[in-house]
Structure formats: C-alpha cells, structure tokens
Amino acid sequence: MNVYLSPPGLVCCAGQNREELYRAALAGYRGGFISKASSVPQRPGESRRDGPALPGQNASPDGDGFPAGLVFLPAAGHGAAGGGRGKIFRLLDAALEQIRIYVEAAVEQYGPERIGVCLGSCDNGSEASLDAHRIFIQTGKFPSDYSLRFQGAALPAEYTAGKFGLSGPVLTTATACASGASAIVRAAELIRSGICGAVVAGGVDIVSDTVFLGFRSLEALSPGLANPFSKNRDGINLGEGAAFFLLNSEDFGIELLGAGESADGYHMTAPGKDGAGAAAAMKKALFNAELTPEAIGYVNLHGTGTALNDIAEAIAMKTVFGENIPPASSTKPVTGHTLGAAGAIEAALCWMTLNGGGIPVHCWDGERDGDMPVIPLAVPGERLRPGSACMTNSFAFGGCNVSLVLGRSSR
C-alpha cells in the first residue's frame, strides 16, 4: 500500500511554517542562532543566555490550547506544569494547527476511531517536572495542580489525539534524536497493516535544563555556530521545534517510498566508527523503496557537527553511494539540532525540496576534513535532479538509526 504525506505543519527558530523554513534553508539563513549561539555556562550555577527566539511559542489559539475533554490537564496553573503554558505544548499546537484541514478531512472520511497518532520526542516531560520539583524544594510539597502524568512521555501524544477528537492508537516513540523519523515509520506501519486509515505523525522537542546540561556534560555543545563536516567542527547548536504530517493512502503528491532502521548498539552516545549502523539503515530504506542509490538526488544529512557523528556518517555515505554520492546538506545549522523533532523537520525539508526543486544549502566554513570521505555538500542555487528521490538520515544515541526515502507520487 502506498503511503503519502500531507503538506507539513511546522515551527522552529528558522520559520513559523514550511514556506518560511524552506526559504531559510535555501538561503542558509542562521538568524535564529547568530546572536545567541554561545550559550554554554562556564561554571555550575551560572545562568545561560536565552536560546533562539521561537516563532509560534504563543500560538495556541485560545491561550490555553487544551481541549476541555482532557480533564486530567488543568486549564491554568503554575508555569510549565500548568497545562497550555508549557512551551512544548505551544510548539506542538502551532504545528498541528497548520495540518488541521487534512486531519478534519480524514476524520470525515475514516471516522475518529480509525485515525492514530505517532509522536516522537526526547524531553517531553522534564519541563513540567523540573518546574514542580523547584517548588517542592522551596516549599516541601508539590503544587496542588501537579500530577506525575505531566512528566509522562505519552502526554503530548494524548494531547494531539484530544485536540482533534481522535480515538485510534496513540503511540509515543523515544528513540533519542531519531524519534521524529521513527514516529513516521510507525505511522506508515499502522496504515499498511490496516489498523488505521490515517495517522498524525511527527515530532516535537524543547531545550529544557535537563537537555542543556546533559549535552553540556557530554561536551557536545559548540561555543559558536555549528560547523558540520568541517575539520573545525566542535559540536552542536541545540534547537527546539515541531513538525507534523498527516499520513494516509490518499495521494498528497509526496510519497513515503521507503524506510530503513537499524540498531547497532555500539555505545550509549557515540556512533560506531565504521558507520555500519548508519549504512545499514540507508541500505534498508533503499531496499524498502525498491530503488538503487542512483535514484537519490539529495540527502538531508544527520550532520550534527560533532567529531564522531560526522565522520561516521561520511563513511556510511561512501559505503552506500560509492563514487556517486548525491548532493547533500545538514540543515541543523539553520534549525539547530531539534532532537526528537529533527527527523520530522528534516523529512519536511525533503518534502519541500521535492515540491520546490531547490536543495537546502550546507552551512559551514568550507574547510574539509582530510580524514573523512568527500561528500558533495550543497551550495546556493543547487537544484534537485528531475525525477529523483530524497533521503533523510536520523542517527541517534544508543545506535538508533533511521533513514527515510521520499519521492513524487508514482500514481
């Protein structure tokens, strides 16, 4: 069964919708990070500067954003645990509103019981949990409107189902930075198995204190702007955002041609040095799509800008494509590394590339690392080869690797 992706709804520091993000990606615009890229505290206890301004963070249409039917959520309350005031729900709502028309049409066609939700996220609970624990430390008790349910991984997915009145399966994937891509894979499986007629799928994530301090402890944060695939690369820029599609068997023009997953389990945070896990996911995606490597006209790289990840992905690209590596770019210098949302945002960029033809530019200093295979990194004005497909890579902690292949409808 063919599975198609609706136009995506999204929000991140580089755009409040798909058109804005696509323009930013084509131009290599990094305005979300230029003035605030260096946000690493020097000593424990020092405050960090605010992250990039996020379009849509006040985008909930009613100021609360939670349907009345979700009785376990307070209409208002203290900070992040007070329901709609949490940033993750504001970002989620801003993206979901952009696909409302497609979801409502699917409800009319299939009924709410045949529409599912697959949501990927890494840090969906800590925003509420940390806020409540601060109050506990100060007062000796949790706020009266706080529930452990607020820090559960399932809450944003339950919110999504409640927002649209959906009663099909509600799944949360937490495969670290591959979560958004994993959610799209699970959604396609629900449709192809006949369990669902359509599925809302994508990812959302924020930069909470837990996330920031975790990556800082790994010494993975760049003190400046991310510089993926450069010999001078020195870490990631954290980002936050959301991106969602409606997947179904109705032809939206862009098809999920194939998906590949692998779990190499080399290390809790580092990729295998030979790139074998990443290459396995890419090969499986091509096999699933029934395509040869030559059919791919653009690869959206995982491209975090860390020393180990970039070289492993470069080796994997060489393994899969040989001497004919297609134009490629990492868009994380534009969006930041949006963690659980990254796979969905980058799939959205492939969706836009297939529709618009222009390839997102690769932002870096142009200094190649002689220790890694050469990848043809996209320059401004580069165009997608007519008739070709796009691949997007998401390679995560714990060896969770996902590659998706998107293409124009074959119907």
**CATH number, domain at 143?**
3.40.47.10
Question: One of 196, 302, 362, 400 is an active-site residue; which one?
Answer: 302
- Give the count of alpha carbons within 13 A of 230, CB side only: 17
**What letter does residue 112 receive in the DSSP assignment?**
G
**Residue type present at position 351:** W
End-to-end Cα spacing for the chain: 12
* Residue 402 confidence (pLDDT): 97
SS3 333: helix
Cβ neighbours of 179 (radius 10 Å): 32
The answer for residues whose C-beta is within 8 angstroms of residue 275's C-beta and 6 or more apart is 311, 312, 313, 314, 315, 316, 317, 319
Question: Cβ of 21: how many Cβ atoms within 10 Å?
Answer: 29
Q: What confidence score (pLDDT) does residue 371 get?
A: 95
Which member of 12, 13, 337, 400 is catalytic? 337
* CB 158 within 8 Å of CB 241: no
Residues 33 and 225 sit within 8 Å (Cβ to Cβ)? yes
State yes or no: is 12 an active-site residue: no
- Alpha-carbon distance of 258 to 281, in angstroms, equals 11
Name the DSSP class of 374: -
- 362 among known catalytic residues: no
Cα dihedral across residues 346, 350, 351, 353: positive or negative:
positive
Q: How far is CA 155 from CA 8, 14, 147, 170, in A?
A: 22, 26, 11, 10
Residue 411: predicted pLDDT: 60
Q: How far apart are CA 234 and CA 69, in angstroms?
A: 47
Q: Give the range of the structural domain holding residue 296, as residue numbers without chain letter.
A: 4-408
Rounded Cα distance, 131 and 78, in Å: 8
Q: pLDDT tens, position by position, for the chain (411 residues)?
A: 999 999 999 999 999 999 999 999 999 998 765 434 333 333 333 333 333 333 333 333 333 434 433 333 433 333 333 344 578 889 999 999 999 999 999 999 999 999 999 999 987 667 777 778 889 999 999 888 888 777 777 889 999 999 999 999 999 999 989 999 999 999 999 999 999 999 999 999 998 777 887 888 888 888 889 999 999 999 999 999 999 999 999 888 999 999 999 998 777 667 778 899 999 999 999 999 999 999 999 999 999 999 999 999 999 999 999 999 999 999 999 999 999 999 999 999 999 999 999 999 999 999 999 999 999 999 999 999 999 999 999 998 777 999 999 999 876
User: What is the pLDDT, as a whole number, of residue 213?
Assistant: 78
Rounded distance between C-alpha atoms, residue 4 and residue 408, angstroms: 10
Per-residue DSSP letter, 326: P
397: three-class secondary structure by DSSP:
helix
Q: Are 254 and 401 in contact (CB under 8 A)?
A: no
What residues form DSSP beta bridges with 391? 299, 405
The residue from 177, 350, 390, 400 that is catalytic is: 177
Nearest to 48 by CA among 207, 196, 269, 155: 207
Closest to 173 in 3D by CA, of 117, 247, 120, 243: 120
302 in active site: yes
Contact predicate 60/17, CB 8 Å: no
Interhelix angle 126-139/209-217, rounded to 10 degrees, is 100
Structural domain tally of the chain?
1
Detail the DSSP E strand segments found in 328-387. 328-329
Distance, CA of 169 to CA of 71 (rounded, Å): 19
Reported pTM: 0.88
CA dihedral sign of residues 230, 277, 378, 363: negative
- Per-residue model confidence (pLDDT) at position 152: 77
